[in-house]
Amino acid sequence: MVSSGEASIEYGSGGRYPRFFSKMDGKTVAVLSDLNTHPLALPLEAELGRRGVRVKEVLFDDSDLLPREGECAFALEQSRGCDYVLAVGSGTLNDMAKSVATRLGIPSGVMATAASMDGYLSKGAALMRNGFKVTDPVNAPSDVLLDPDIIRRAPRDMTAAGFGDIVGKYTCLADWQLAHLLRNEEIHEGAYERMLQARDTCMDAYPGLVEGKGEAVDRLMRALLAAGQAMAMCGNSRPASGSEHHMSHFLEMDFARRGERIPMHGFKVGVGTLVSLEIYRYIRSHDLDLPYKAGIDGIAAGLPEAEQVRAWLKGMGCPVRFSEMGVRKETMEEMLEKAYTVRDRYTVLTLAHEFGLTAQMKPLLMERYW
């Protein structure tokens, strides 16, 4: 058992987490799962029941679950009267469990099923409301349950998506520096360093990730958890989310409005990272009349080349163009113009909009990344 801020991380196997089970004595636990994760929830539910814990199974008859109003309302109603909400899954189920538990005033936890995203430990829940992607402030989970065998056996594309999320930490940290330079936004040094070290440790394991080695997947999972820790440290998602995430959120809303299947978050973040890197490179390589140009160039100089990141993503089997994920050409064009509005957060997309660079760069970005 490892303490991590407000959450405790417990490693177990075969659905056995003795420290967590002891905390659940005498409680009623709502266990949220979907068609993908229900088989993994069953041993956990059985062990809880064997120990006398009352289990309320909340099963979504869906293999492509979205955190929309109806689904969240269902989870909320099913969890009433329970003492604890436990998600068995990754992004959507984790966010729904945190949201439901916060609204009911009870703790939540998650049994992670894949190294696919960085929100396990965060104090935000990404939900769909009126067709828009919103992030609600929620209580961090009190427990994260990890079975390394389950994480290592997760579908390859989910692990690749987690890698895409980590690649995005290059541009999100650069965006934080940019906001500090141009808007005097405070940088939480502890959170910044936590994310930086976790990103670099994960990238050191890249060759093993490509080969699917278990130890490398473990490093990726630890980096994703560290992102949640960093977000909890500074109280918002700035250490883990910048321009690359704003593009991903914009596209998620577009797919949802069209009623189409949403590509994995980390895949969209990965290509968004390539776009952001291209913008930084454009600024650095052109004689532009920008405030603090030398400082911006210094930030850009610390970033990897887009071609290198593209090779990393391809090596993991991630898409490297938005068209590979079904994004329409006109949607990407609109994304380049409007994604900076998705969050009230200064990023390189905001800078490009303010100084008229978006129109200059659009043909190049469309050619390379659509």
User: What are the extents of the domains in the chain?
Assistant: 2-153, 156-369
Tokens of 131: 């067709």
Tokens of 211: 């080969």
Average pLDDT, the chain: 94
The CATH T-level fold of domain 2-153 is: Rossmann fold (3.40.50)
**CA atoms in the 13 A half-sphere facing the CB of 319:** 19
Residue 7 has pLDDT above 80, yes or no: no
Q: Decide: 83 and 27 in contact? Cβ < 8 Å.
A: yes
Q: How far apart are CA 368 and CA 282, in angstroms?
A: 13
Q: Output the DSSP codes for 199-225.
A: HHHHHHTHHHHHHT-HHHHHHHHHHHH
pLDDT digits (tens, 9 = 90+) for 251-280: 999 998 888 999 999 999 999 999 999 999
The sheet carrying 54-60 orders its strands as 2-4, 7-11, 143-146, 108-112, 84-89, 28-34, 54-60
Tokens of 358: 């978006």
pTM above 0.85, yes or no: yes
Percent of the chain residues topping a pLDDT of 90: 84
Q: What angle do CA 306, 366, 268 make, to 5 degrees?
A: 60
Q: How far apart are CA 185 and CA 150, in angstroms?
A: 40
Q: Does domain 156-369 have CATH number 1.20.1090.10?
A: yes
Q: Which residues of 206-229 are buried (b: 16+ CB within 10 A; e: fewer)?
A: bebbeeeeeebbbbbbbbbbbbbb
